[in-house]
């Protein structure tokens, strides 16, 4: 009976599953955070107004081209192949035996970064130009305008997309088993390899993946609501001195 | 009296479309100058060229006698000294009322938070919005937003205030509250350059009225001169059209 097997597999291998799930969550989380930061930076750089002439224009143009290549390349190739290329490539190119964990985090981060760069750019462009101009008009430069006015709104707006990317990463870290990262899929494979109960073992993994993605989605939804703040404000009355915020 | 802004031979084209042709005019310290003219005559473009939101095609813009189109001129330092009020308010949506008035002072003028809040409260009181400091822009009416936008610009304590049709996006019943604030500012002796379609208001508060037509200054003079004894045919025509509405 499958059900008894499932119970047995869980009770015998739970530390293994837990470790795998932890590793999956860890790589997905770090990868998403670093990827989001890469995406934000790329998005900010790609929206710098192009100077009309001079060396600054040339530098910005070259950086933009490099960013475009990066984005197109990583969005246009499968992560499973990127993992192989980066892991074995680094060994070949620099003669270093890269830690698989490090390789895993790098692959997920730059892959996520490529997707987030486009999302961030869309988010920046969607903030109406008037606010950007108002910030410029009080003397802010591009960087100050971005950090004080545009990005806080962009971050709020791209939060759903980032959460989505996190969920995708939780699932897609499974491809990292090709470079022997001990994430959930990899460890499940070894559990199944020992007991030859493939269906039951992977059914357990399946449940764990689902619980993780479902929980993450809910938690993010809660944060989004929290970030939006209260729907009402209080009008101060005469006696009340305005409090510090 | 001292000239704060002096525009000389200013040109601006969008592609082949010449929007401003050889504009010459100046604003003196303490003066209120209104720019009137039909839609598309280049009023907004002139204002936007003055604070460099648009790059002028040719000519000079002198600010306290210095040409700010000179390559070496620090445009960020210059913009701090101009307050700009937009037709669409352009408040920073991510900040509450107080923070809207504070962020520029802290980031650009490097004032301390306490100092900045004190200044902000002073000007929020002037525009009658000091009781709404914790409201977010999307929770305010159009008239309230525009008054906050005026306070935000005033908080930078600029040498000149530029207004681009500050009441055109407002419902009729809210126009009055914004014009009232502007009247008070005129009385204090603030230097103001106002693009407006409110002819009554322009006649009342202005020291000088500039009539623009098809990218040129067709006529300028005292309100009495422009509204009661216009010299040019096109000024007469424009006034007949707008005042009969
Ligand atoms: N960014 C732009 N690109 C191309 N043409 C523009 C741009 N901005 C303005 N124009 C054109 O320049 C002309 C002058 O526009 P401007 O906005 O200065 O007029 P205005 O006098 O402010 O009109 P209104 O009273 O409707 O605000 C118009 O014909 C407009 O179409
Ligand atoms: Mg206009």
Confidence class of residue B5 from pLDDT cuts 50, 70 and 90? very high
Query: What is Dmax (Cα atoms) for chain B?
Result: 55
Report CA(B39)–ligand 1 centroid distance (Å): 8
Determine the Cα–Cα distance for residues A98 and A181; give it in Å rounded to an integer.
Answer: 12
Has residue B70 got a pLDDT over 80? yes
Q: Which residues line ligand 1 (CB under 6 A)?
A: B 14, 17, 19, 37, 39-45
For a mutational test of ligand 1's pocket, the pick from B44, B193, B241, i.e. the residue with the most ligand atoms closer than 8 A to its C-beta, is B44
Alpha helix positions (H), chain A:
2-46, 55-75, 79-94, 100-126, 129-137, 142-145, 151-172, 184-195, 198-228
- Cβ contact B82:A137 at 8 Å: yes
In a domain, A244, yes or no: no
In a domain, A245, yes or no: no
In a domain, A224, yes or no: yes
How many angstroms separate the Cα of A93 from the Cα of each of A42, A51, A69, A73, A96? 26, 37, 21, 19, 8
Which of A50, A139, A146 to probe the B interface (max B CBs under 10 A)? A139
In this structure, the number of other CB atoms found within 10 A of the CB of residue A12 comes to 12
Determine the Cα–Cα distance for residues B197 and B209; give it in Å rounded to an integer.
Answer: 12
- Nearest-by-Cβ selection for A130 from B77, B86, B135: B86
Determine the Cα–Cα distance for residues A157 and B117; give it in Å rounded to an integer.
Answer: 28
Atom of ligand 1 nearest to the CA of B195: 22
In a domain, A186, yes or no: yes
Q: What is the mean pLDDT of residues B150-157?
A: 97
In a domain, A89, yes or no: yes
In a domain, A243, yes or no: no
Q: What is the mean pLDDT of residues B149-178?
A: 95
In a domain, A239, yes or no: no
Residue of chain B whose alpha carbon sits nearest to that of A229: B136
Domain count of chain A?
A: 1
Q: What is the three-class DSSP state of A68?
A: helix
Total-model pTM: 0.84
pLDDT of residue B128: 94
> Residues B83-122: pLDDT tens digits?
999 999 999 999 999 999 999 999 999 999 999 999 999 9
- Nearest-by-Cβ selection for A139 from B53, B79, B86: B79
List per-block mean pLDDT (blocks of 10 residues) for chain A, which spans 245 residues: 83 92 96 95 88 85 95 94 90 79 93 93 89 95 92 89 94 93 93 90 95 94 81 63 44
In this structure, the number of other CB atoms found within 10 A of the CB of residue A180 comes to 12
How remote is the C-alpha of B195 from its chain's centroid? Answer: 6
CATH of the domain at A157: 1.10.3720.10
E-only strand ranges, chain B: 3-14, 17-28, 32-37, 58-63, 66-67, 82-85, 160-164, 192-195, 208-213, 216-221
In a domain, A67, yes or no: yes
pLDDT of residue B245: 63
DSSP at A1? -
Cβ–Cβ gap A133/B92 under 8 Å: no
Can you give the C-alpha Rg of chain B in angstroms?
Answer: 18
Q: Domain of A187? A: 3-231
CA-based nearest distance B241→chain A, Å? 31
As given in the structure block, the two tokens for residue B98 are: 């107080």
pLDDT of residue B1: 74
pLDDT of residue A242: 46
> Residues B172-198: pLDDT tens digits?
889 999 999 999 999 999 999 999 999
- Among residues A110, A120, A126, A36, the alpha carbon closest in space to that of A69 is found at A110
Determine the Cα–Cα distance for residues B126 and B121; give it in Å rounded to an integer.
Answer: 9
Determine the Cα–Cα distance for residues B36 and B33; give it in Å rounded to an integer.
Answer: 10
Atom of ligand 1 nearest to the CA of B87: 27
How remote is the C-alpha of A162 from its chain's centroid? Answer: 6
């Amino acid at each position: 009976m499958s059900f008894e097997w499932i119970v047995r597999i869980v009770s015998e291998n739970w530390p293994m599953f837990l470790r795998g799930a932890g590793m999956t969550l860890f790589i997905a989380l770090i990868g998403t955070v670093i990827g989001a930061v890469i995406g934000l930076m790329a998005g900010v750089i790609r929206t710098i107004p192009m100077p009309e002439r001079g060396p600054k224009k040339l530098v910005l143009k070259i950086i933009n081209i490099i960013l475009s290549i990066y984005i197109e390349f990583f969005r246009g190739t499968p992560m499973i192949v990127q993992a192989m290329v980066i892991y074995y490539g680094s060994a070949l190119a620099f003669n270093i035996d890269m830690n698989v964990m490090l390789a895993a985090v790098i692959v997920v981060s730059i892959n996520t970064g490529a997707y987030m760069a486009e999302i961030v750019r869309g988010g920046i462009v969607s903030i109406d130009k008037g606010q950007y101009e108002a910030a410029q008009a009080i003397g802010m430069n591009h960087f100050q305008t971005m950090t004080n006015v545009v990005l806080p709104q962009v971050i709020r707006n791209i939060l759903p997309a980032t959460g989505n990317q996190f969920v995708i990463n939780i699932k897609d870290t499974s491809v990292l088993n090709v470079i022997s990262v001990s994430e959930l899929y990899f460890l499940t494979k070894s559990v199944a390899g020992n007991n030859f109960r493939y269906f039951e073992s992977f059914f357990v993994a399946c449940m764990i993946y689902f619980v993780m993605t479902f929980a993450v989605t809910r938690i993010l939804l809660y944060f989004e609501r929290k970030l939006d703040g209260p729907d009402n404000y209080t009008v101060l009355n005469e006696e009340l001195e305005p409090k510090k915020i | 009296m001292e000239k704060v802004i002096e525009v000389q031979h200013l040109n601006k084209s969008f592609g082949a479309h010449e929007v401003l042709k050889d504009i010459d005019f100046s604003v003196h310290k303490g003066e209120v100058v209104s720019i009137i003219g039909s839609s598309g005559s280049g009023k907004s473009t002139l204002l936007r060229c003055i604070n460099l939101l648009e790059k002028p095609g040719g000519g000079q813009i002198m600010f306290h006698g210095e040409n700010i189109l000179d390559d070496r001129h620090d445009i960020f330092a210059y913009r701090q000294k101009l307050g700009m009020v937009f037709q669409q308010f352009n408040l920073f949506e991510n900040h509450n009322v107080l923070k809207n008035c504070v962020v520029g002072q802290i980031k650009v003028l490097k004032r301390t938070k306490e100092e900045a809040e004190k200044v902000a409260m002073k000007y929020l009181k002037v525009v009658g919005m000091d009781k709404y400091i914790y409201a977010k822009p999307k929770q305010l009416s159009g008239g309230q937003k525009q008054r906050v936008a005026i306070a935000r610009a005033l908080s930078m304590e600029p040498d000149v205030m530029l207004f681009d049709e500050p009441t055109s996006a407002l419902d009729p019943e809210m126009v009055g509250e914004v014009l009232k604030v502007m009247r008070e500012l005129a009385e204090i002796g603030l230097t103001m350059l106002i693009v407006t379609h409110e002819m009554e208001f322009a006649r009342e508060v202005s020291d000088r009225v500039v009539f623009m037509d098809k990218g040129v200054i067709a006529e300028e003079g005292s309100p009495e001169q422009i509204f009661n004894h216009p010299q040019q045919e096109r000024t007469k025509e424009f006034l007949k059209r707008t005042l009969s509405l």
